[in-house]
């Protein structure tokens, strides 16, 4: 357990490191409970340092010996690290420590997963492996020797030498310790070769456990496509002779970009048509690309300190979104990204955990791998690109790579390259990095004498620690349509910089219909009184695919809000518009599937809250169910038609075209299930030859309260496949009827295969419950209690994953008083636990403040 009252770290306290490292040599003698780590580190005083104290981080290490320039020394050891008197000139530090990977359940540092040794060092895990200045602005080349009785021994960089029971690796590129990695185990590779545009032949290997052999082809394909894309679009080539990826069963996050040795949560590597859904394939493609792209944005140019996390994460997410848009459909990708942004980041930005894209203080950095740092960080880069244009962006990035290669950089460095490359002053734009909260745009309009005027006001609500907000630079992409549906003003980017501004469009023959915030040009909430007719008009005519979808979504939301308020029947105009859209064969099936998806329950709760109402999760669930049934009935005959039309002849392909057809077909199947009591879904399930169809049919059945037999059959078929069984666990909780969700979750925690120390399985069941909004927010508080019990239990073994999941409680301020009191009581119960981790203590502290 960590210390009781740790001090927050502040951006304003940054000082350069006292010593720099020229070279690191590590030797590992692997043993499950007594691994010996020998380190030899060449230090040199940093001329830029402001103090000369020699401090090495180290946590939970058993120091066996230490020497400076060959002379034994006895350092002063604290729970955080050690200090020691050192010469005022370059010197060599040598140490031997002992660690126990097998008992490391936190999955940070060196740990074991199903007999395999692996590491996770970001953000501050290296200090659990050996004593070291574990901060990203200390970069050094590493040489690693691994000794262990296992067939595959991997580390960063290029292989240097190997023999029976040992291997040596050399990574010539200076890197911070958080990018260190080691893997040892019985593994098999799916291999390929890639020749870079610079002529370097690179061996590619995706390592998996023997039982998973044959499931890495898609990951390898995605890797090769990512390598090509980064060369073509960003001019960035790979810089080592090998690129290794390893799939690990126990992993706290999605994946990790360690130099030359990416480590992945197995669920983002392993795929076969029978076991992975289209969504899984899409995630694998995106995450493989993300980690690969980090080689330049994160590894070659890293972060000076952890406050700059968005420097690598925002940019790398932006790059993986561009890549996925190129590989699939830009319109569909943008809609999916915005759905996720609103669901996770807007929710975070509007609650007690709101923080700026670049936070200014933290207690535990692991708590800041958030949607705000990642996804809002990517949106900020998208806005920057919109403001300076694609050519300005390309110039700025070329300058960034040129100027900062090999460095640990800051957001100031990042913005400066844009200023230098484009001549633009970004002083005001920088507020996007320091101001938390989602800006709201209030828009009114006016038409007179052929001039159409938009009046736009911006306002950002107060967030924790930031009562006052200032206007931000907001690119507002706008197009105008004439009443007959023609586009009279094509997309134009208006730049908002003030609290209130007017924008005039002259020479128009009639009052136009505005299409605002096209492509979701800024991460803001748009507030404008709009009639249902206008939304239906945009749904039918808008040339901007995002806004076309958005119009449908807004209509659905308004219908649901009306159904909630007045218990009304859904507006027929909405149902007709939906039918027209669903039938429109000019539209991409993936787009139609998205447009037929109703806004989520949590999203509706947020919408109601932002209208000053108190959402009732159960009423929302009921209204949404009623609307689904009404949509099913109103579009009646269309469902079997779509179902029959959207087949995918030939062998399964995870590509966008087939995946889009399956998505639309399964949407039709789910609506159909409400009309035929699941008859078609049962046949579909029985005939399914791929996991997308199997899960799609099963979900359709569970949603109407059926599917017990299918669940049993599924479990019998997939009993031995961990990743597929995660789906089985997750699905029945997340789709359970609100009244049975908590009991279902509880029952599953008693299942013999509920291995709660495995983060994927824990997330499937406990995370599954938090995603069943009406079940989790059950008025009795039983959902809150069950989740809190499990967070307490998990916190003792894996603080990082437990703390992340505590965000389930972040929406408490928008709920009714009774639920608020229930949640606060659970948070207080967690906070009062003796020995609570630093991770969890910080999270509940922020949630309660």
| Residues designated as active site | 291
Min separation Cβ 11 and ligand 0A1, Å: 19
Pairing of strands 440-448, 451-459: antiparallel
For 224, phi then psi, to 5°, come to -65, -40
Tell me the closest approach of the beta carbon of residue 314 to Zn ion, in angstroms.
9
Which of 61, 123, 803, 841: binder of ligand 0A1 (CB under 6 A)? 123
Any idea how long the chain is? 849
- Chain centre to alpha carbon of residue 321: 12
Q: Taking the complex as a whole, how short is the minimal distance between the CB of residue 7 and ligand 0A1, in angstroms?
A: 20
Q: What is the dihedral angle through the alpha carbons of 336, 342, 347, 349, rounded to the nearest 10 degrees?
A: 120
From residue 369 to residue 398, the character string flagging contacts with ligand 0A1 as x (rule: CB under 6 A) and all else as - is x-----------------------------
Report the distance separating Cα 537 and Cα 535, nearest Å. 5
Cis bond upstream, residue 828 (ω within 30):
no
Residue 763 binds which of Zn ion, ligand 0A1, none (CB < 5-8 A, kind-dependent): none
User: For residue 774, how far is the Cα from the chain centroid?
Assistant: 24
DSSP conformation class of 32: S
Contact 131, 184 (CB under 8 A): no
Q: What residues between 206 and 265 interact with ligand 0A1 by CB under 6 A?
A: 252-257
Q: 25 to each of 162, 334, 768, how far by Cα in Å? A: 16, 45, 44
* Chain residues 347-366 in contact with ligand 0A1, contact rule CB under 6 A: 366
Residue pair 237/196 in contact by the 8 Å Cβ criterion = yes
Q: Which does 122 bind (CB under 5 to 8 A by kind): ligand 0A1, Zn ion, none?
A: ligand 0A1
Give the one residue of 39, 104, 113, 120 binding ligand 0A1; rule: CB under 6 A: 120
Longest dimension (CA), the chain: 88
Read off φ and ψ for residue 517, nearest 5 degrees: 60, 45
Could you say which residues in the range 296-325 bind Zn ion, by CB under 5 A? 313, 316
Residues 6+ apart with CB under 8 A from 449: none
Handedness of CA 573, 664, 343, 616 (dihedral sign): positive
Torsion of CA 399, 401, 405, 407, to 10 degrees: 80
| Nearer CB in complex with Zn ion: 373/443 | 373
Distance between CA atoms of residues 92 and 87, nearest Å: 10
- When the beta carbons of 106 and 524 are compared against ligand 0A1, the nearer one is 106
Least CB distance to ligand 0A1 at residue 251 (A): 8
Query: How far apart are CB 118 and ligand 0A1 at their closest, in Å?
Result: 12
CA distance 46 to 783: 53
Residues 256-285 interacting with ligand 0A1 (rule: CB under 6 A): 256-257
Residue 691 binds which one of ligand 0A1, Zn ion, none, with CB within 5 to 8 A depending on kind?
A: none
Q: How far apart are CA 148 and CA 139, in angstroms?
A: 27
337 makes contact, choosing from ligand 0A1, Zn ion, none, with CB < 5 to 8 Å by partner type, with: none
Q: Which does residue 366 touch among ligand 0A1, Zn ion, none (CB within 5 to 8 A, set by kind)?
A: ligand 0A1
When the beta carbons of 119 and 744 are compared against ligand 0A1, the nearer one is: 119
Alpha-carbon distance values, 154 to 146, 185, 299, 778 (Å) = 8, 9, 18, 48
Identify the sign of the CA torsion 814, 817, 818, 821. positive
CA-CA distance, 120 to 112, in Å (whole number)? Answer: 11
Choose the one of ligand 0A1, Zn ion, none that binds residue 212, judging by a C-beta under 5 to 8 angstroms depending on kind.
none
The rounded distance, in Å, linking the Cα atoms of 570 and 33 is 63
> Which of Zn ion, ligand 0A1, none is residue 367 near (CB under 5 to 8 Å by kind)?
none
Alpha-carbon distance of 603 to 174, in angstroms, equals 44
Judged by CB under 6 A, the stretch of 118-126, 227-235, 459-467, 551-559 that binds ligand 0A1 is 118-126
Selected range binding ligand 0A1 among 116-124, 240-248, 375-383, 396-404, rule: CB under 6 A: 116-124
- Is 315 or 397 the residue whose CB approaches ligand 0A1 more closely? 315
**For residues 316 and 366, which CB has a smaller minimum distance to Zn ion in the complex?**
316
Q: Which does 369 bind (CB under 5 to 8 A by kind): ligand 0A1, Zn ion, none?
A: ligand 0A1
State which residue has the least CB distance to ligand 0A1: 253
CA distance 846 to 43: 39
HEC string of 797-815 equals: CCHHHHHHHHHHHCCHHHC
CB of 803 to ligand 0A1, least distance (A): 10
**Euclidean distance between CA atoms 732 and 741, whole angstroms:** 8
Among the candidate windows 36-44, 117-125, 195-203, 319-327, which touches ligand 0A1 by CB under 6 A?
117-125
- The 768-807 site mask, x for binding ligand 0A1 (CB under 6 A), equals --------------------------------x-------
Query: Residue 256 binds which entry of ligand 0A1, Zn ion, none, with Cβ cut-offs from 5 to 8 Å by kind?
Result: ligand 0A1
Q: What is the signed CA dihedral for 273, 279, 283, 285, rounded to 10 degrees?
A: 50
Q: Which is nearer to ligand 0A1, 303 or 697 (CB)?
A: 303
Q: Cα separation of 31 and 149, whole Å?
A: 9
Cα(371)–Cα(466) distance, rounded to whole angstroms? 19
Per CB under 6 A, contacts with ligand 0A1 among 523-582 are none
Give the nearer residue to Zn ion in terms of CB position, either 316 or 345: 316
Q: Give the 3-state secondary structure of residue 495.
A: strand
- Which does residue 120 touch among Zn ion, ligand 0A1, none (CB within 5 to 8 A, set by kind)? ligand 0A1
- Measured from the CB atom, the residue of 359 and 781 that comes closer to Zn ion is 359
Query: Which entry of ligand 0A1, Zn ion, none binds 276, CB below 5 to 8 A by partner kind?
Result: none
Task: Considering the complex, state which of residue 248 and residue 646 has its C-beta at the smaller distance from Zn ion.
Answer: 248
What are the φ/ψ torsions at residue 256 (nearest 5 degrees)?
Answer: -145, 135
Number of residues that bind Zn ion (CB under 5 A): 2
Work out how close the CB of 291 gets to Zn ion at its nearest, in angstroms, rounded to a whole number.
Answer: 7
Shortest distance in whole angstroms from residue 551 CB to Zn ion: 33
Are 656 and 328 in contact by the 8 Å Cβ rule? The answer is: yes
Q: Is the dihedral of CA 229, 233, 237, 243 positive or negative?
A: negative
- Residue 369 · residue 400 · CB < 8 Å: no
What are the Cα distances from residue 135, in Å, to 119, 138, 656, 664, 719?
17, 6, 41, 48, 43
Q: Tell me the site size for ligand 0A1, rule CB under 6 A.
A: 15
Residue 460, binding choice from ligand 0A1, Zn ion, none, Cβ under 5 to 8 Å by partner class: none
Q: What sign results for the dihedral spanned by CA atoms 580, 582, 583, 588?
A: positive
- Mark 312-341 with x for binding to ligand 0A1 (rule: CB under 6 A) and - for no binding: -x----------------------------
Q: Which is nearer to Zn ion, 374 or 729 (CB)?
A: 374
User: Are 160 and 170 spatial neighbours (Cβ–Cβ below 8 Å)?
Assistant: yes
How near is the Cβ of 412 to ligand 0A1 at its closest, in Å? 22
The smaller minimum CB distance to ligand 0A1, of residues 469 and 804, is found at 804
Q: Which is nearer to ligand 0A1, 317 or 808 (CB)?
A: 317
Least distance in angstroms from the C-beta of 612 to ligand 0A1: 37
122 near ligand 0A1, judged by CB under 6 A: yes
For the CB of residue 415, give the shortest distance to ligand 0A1 in the complex, in Å: 21
**Paired strand residues for 627:** none
Query: Which of the choices Zn ion, ligand 0A1, none does residue 123 contact, using the CB cut-off of 5 to 8 A by kind?
Result: ligand 0A1
Site for ligand 0A1 in 286-315 (CB under 6 A): 290-291, 313
Contact set with ligand 0A1 (CB under 6 A): 120, 122-123, 252-257, 290-291, 313, 366, 369, 800
Contact set with Zn ion (CB under 5 A): 313, 316
């Amino acid at each position: 357990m960590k210390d009781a009252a740790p001090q927050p770290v502040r951006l304003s306290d940054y000082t350069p490191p006292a010593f720099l490292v020229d070279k690191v040599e590590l030797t590992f003698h692997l043993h499950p409970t007594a691994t010996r780590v020998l380190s030899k580190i060449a230090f040199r005083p940093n001329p830029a340092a402001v103090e000369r104290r020699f401090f090495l981080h180290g946590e939970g290490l058993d120091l066996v010996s230490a020497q400076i320039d060959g002379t034994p020394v006895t350092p002063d050891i604290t729970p955080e690290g050690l200090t020691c008197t050192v010469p005022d000139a370059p010197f060599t530090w040598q140490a031997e420590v002992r660690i126990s990977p097998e008992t490391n359940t936190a999955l940070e540092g060196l740990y074991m997963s199903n007999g395999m040794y692996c590491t996770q060092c970001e953000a501050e895990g290296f200090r659990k492996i050996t004593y070291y200045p574990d901060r990203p602005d200390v970069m050094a080349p590493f040489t690693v020797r691994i000794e262990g009785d296992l067939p595959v021994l991997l580390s960063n960089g290029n292989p240097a030498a190997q023999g029976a029971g040992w291997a040596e690796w050399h990574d010539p590129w200076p890197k911070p310790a958080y990018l260190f990695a080691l893997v040892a185990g019985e593994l098999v590779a799916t291999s390929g070769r890639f020749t870079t545009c610079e002529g370097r032949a690179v061996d590619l290997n995706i390592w998996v456990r023997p039982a998973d052999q044959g499931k890495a082809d898609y990951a390898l394909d995605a890797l090769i496509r990512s390598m090509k894309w980064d060369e073509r679009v960003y001019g960035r080539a790979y810089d080592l002779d090998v690129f290794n990826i390893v799939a690990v069963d126990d992993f706290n996050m999605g994946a990790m970009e360690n130099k030359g040795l990416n480590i992945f949560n197995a669920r983002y590597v392993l795929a076969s048509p029978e076991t992975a859904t289209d969504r899984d394939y899409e995630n694998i493609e995106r995450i493989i690309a993300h980690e690969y792209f980090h080689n330049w944005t994160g590894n070659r140019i890293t972060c000076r300190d952890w406050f700059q996390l968005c420097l690598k994460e925002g940019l790398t997410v932006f790059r993986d979104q561009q890549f996925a848009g190129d590989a699939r459909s830009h319109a569909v990708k943008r809609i999916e990204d915005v759905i996720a942004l609103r669901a996770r980041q807007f929710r975070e930005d509007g609650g007690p955990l709101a923080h700026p894209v670049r936070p200014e203080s933290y207690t535990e950095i692991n708590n800041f791998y958030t949607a705000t740092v990642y996804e809002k960080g990517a949106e900020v880069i998208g806005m920057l690109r919109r403001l300076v244009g694609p050519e300005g962006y390309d110039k700025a990035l070329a300058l960034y790579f040129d100027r900062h290669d090999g460095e640990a950089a800051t957001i100031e460095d990042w913005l400066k390259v844009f200023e230098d490359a484009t001549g633009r002053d970004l002083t005001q734009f920088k507020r996007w990095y320091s101001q938390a909260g989602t800006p709201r745009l209030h828009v009114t309009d006016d038409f007179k004498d052929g001039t159409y005027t938009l009046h736009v006001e911006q306002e950002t609500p107060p967030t924790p620690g930031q009562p006052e907000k200032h206007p931000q630079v907001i690119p507002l992409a706008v197009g105008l349509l004439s009443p007959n549906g023609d586009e009279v003003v094509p997309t134009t980017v208006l730049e908002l910089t003030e609290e209130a501004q007017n924008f005039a469009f002259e020479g128009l023959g009639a009052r136009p219909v505005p299409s605002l915030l096209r492509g979701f040009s800024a991460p803001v909430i748009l507030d404008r009184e709009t009639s249902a007719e206008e939304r239906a008009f945009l749904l039918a005519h808008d040339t901007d695919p995002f806004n076309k979808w958005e119009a449908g979504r807004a209509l659905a939301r308004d219908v649901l809000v009306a159904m909630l308020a007045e218990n009304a029947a859904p507006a027929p105009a909405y149902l007709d518009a939906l039918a027209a859209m669903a039938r429109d064969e000019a539209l991409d099936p993936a787009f139609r599937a998205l447009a037929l998806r109703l806004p989520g329950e949590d999203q509706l709760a947020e919408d109601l809250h932002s209208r000053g109402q108190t959402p009732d999760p159960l009423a929302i669930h009921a209204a949404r169910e009623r609307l689904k049934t009404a949509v099913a009935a109103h579009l009646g005959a269309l469902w079997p038609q779509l179902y029959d039309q959207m087949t995918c002849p030939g062998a399964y392909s995870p590509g966008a075209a087939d995946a889009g057809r399956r998505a639309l077909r399964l949407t039709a199947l789910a609506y159909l299930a409400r009309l035929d009591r699941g008859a078609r879904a049962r046949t579909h399930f029985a005939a399914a030859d791929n996991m997308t169809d199997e899960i799609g049919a099963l979900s359709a059945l569970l949603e109407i309260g059926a599917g017990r037999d299918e669940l049993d059959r599924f479990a019998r078929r997939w009993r031995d496949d961990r990743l597929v069984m995660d789906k089985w666990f997750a699905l029945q909780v997340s789709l359970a009827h609100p009244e049975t969700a908590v009991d279902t979750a509880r029952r599953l925690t008693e299942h013999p295969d509920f291995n709660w120390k495995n983060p994927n399985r824990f997330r499937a069941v406990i995370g599954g419950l938090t995603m069943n909004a009406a079940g989790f927010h059950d008025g009795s508080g039983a959902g809150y209690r069950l989740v809190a019990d499990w967070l307490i239990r998990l916190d003792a073994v894996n603080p990082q994953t437990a703390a992340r999941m505590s965000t389930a409680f972040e929406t408490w301020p928008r709920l009714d008083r009774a639920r608020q009191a229930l949640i606060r009581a659970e948070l207080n119960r967690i906070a009062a636990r003796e020995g609570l981790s630093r991770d969890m203590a910080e999270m509940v502290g922020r949630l309660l403040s």
